[in-house]
Amino acid sequence: MAQHTRYWSCSPFADWLRGTKKLSAGTSEEWDDWTTTAQMKHNFRYWLAEEGLGHLQDFVTWPIRKIYDVKYYINNRWVTGSHRLTAHPRDIKPGQWRDVGDRFLPCLFNELVDFVEIETAWMQIAWNSEERHKYNPPFWASGWFRWRTWRCPQAGLDNLRWQSELIHNEEYCKDQPYYMKPTPQAVKAQEILDLYTWWTETYRNRPDPYEASGFSAACDAQREANGGKFNWGSREKNPAIKKQMDKAHKLLQKIEIAYEKEDEAMMIRLIKVRHGLWT
In tens, the pLDDT along 73-100 reads 887 777 777 788 888 999 999 888 899 9
Asked whether 204 and 263 are in contact (CB, 8 A), the reply is no
Residues 219-234, mean pLDDT to the nearest whole number? 74
The pLDDT value recorded for residue 170 is 87
In terms of domains, do 174 and 116 share one?
Answer: yes
The pLDDT value recorded for residue 234 is 61
Report if residue 37 sits inside a domain.
no
In the structure, what pLDDT confidence band is assigned to residue 261 with cuts at 50, 70 and 90? Answer: very high
Residues 231-259, mean pLDDT to the nearest whole number? 85
Query: What's the rounded Cα separation, in Å, for the pair 5 and 13?
Result: 11
Question: How many domains is the chain partitioned into structurally?
Answer: 2
In terms of domains, do 108 and 192 share one?
Answer: yes
In terms of domains, do 122 and 156 share one?
Answer: yes
Q: By residue range, what is the domain housing residue 132?
A: 95-199
Domain boundary among 199, 227, 254: 199
Report if residue 181 sits inside a domain.
yes
In terms of domains, do 187 and 263 share one?
Answer: no
In terms of domains, do 126 and 215 share one?
Answer: no
Between these two residues, 229 and 104, which has the higher pLDDT value?
104
Report if residue 72 sits inside a domain.
no
In terms of domains, do 120 and 181 share one?
Answer: yes
In terms of domains, do 114 and 133 share one?
Answer: yes
In tens, the pLDDT along 131-186 reads 999 999 998 888 777 878 899 999 999 999 999 999 999 888 889 999 999 999 99
Give the 3-state secondary structure of residue 250. helix
The pLDDT value recorded for residue 150 is 94
Q: Which amino acid is at 191?
A: E
Report if residue 115 sits inside a domain.
yes
In terms of domains, do 131 and 214 share one?
Answer: no
Q: Which residues contact 142 (CB under 8 A, 6 or more apart)?
A: 122, 125, 126, 132
Give the 3-state secondary structure of residue 182. strand
Domain boundary among 199, 232, 258: 199
The pLDDT value recorded for residue 76 is 74
Report if residue 243 sits inside a domain.
yes
Backbone angles phi, psi at 167, to 5 degrees: -130, 160
Query: What's the rounded Cα separation, in Å, for the pair 64 and 181?
Result: 43
In terms of domains, do 183 and 213 share one?
Answer: no
Residues 241-246, mean pLDDT to the nearest whole number? 87
In tens, the pLDDT along 101-134 reads 999 999 999 999 999 999 999 999 998 899 999 9
Whether the predicted pLDDT of 13 surpasses 80 = yes
Domain boundary among 199, 223, 246: 199
Rg (CA), the chain: 28
Between these two residues, 91 and 4, which has the higher pLDDT value?
91
Report if residue 35 sits inside a domain.
no
Whether the predicted pLDDT of 248 surpasses 60 = yes
Give the 3-state secondary structure of residue 101. helix
In terms of domains, do 186 and 104 share one?
Answer: yes
Query: What's the rounded Cα separation, in Å, for the pair 267 and 211?
Result: 25
Report if residue 84 sits inside a domain.
no
Residues 214-230, mean pLDDT to the nearest whole number? 82
Query: What's the rounded Cα separation, in Å, for the pair 116 and 128?
Result: 18
Report if residue 23 sits inside a domain.
no
% of the chain at pLDDT higher than 70:
95
The pLDDT value recorded for residue 232 is 63
Query: What's the rounded Cα separation, in Å, for the pair 62 and 19?
Result: 28
In terms of domains, do 192 and 251 share one?
Answer: no
Look over the chain and give the mean of its residue pLDDT values, rounded to a whole number.
89
In terms of domains, do 255 and 166 share one?
Answer: no
Number of CB atoms found within 10 A of residue 93's CB: 10
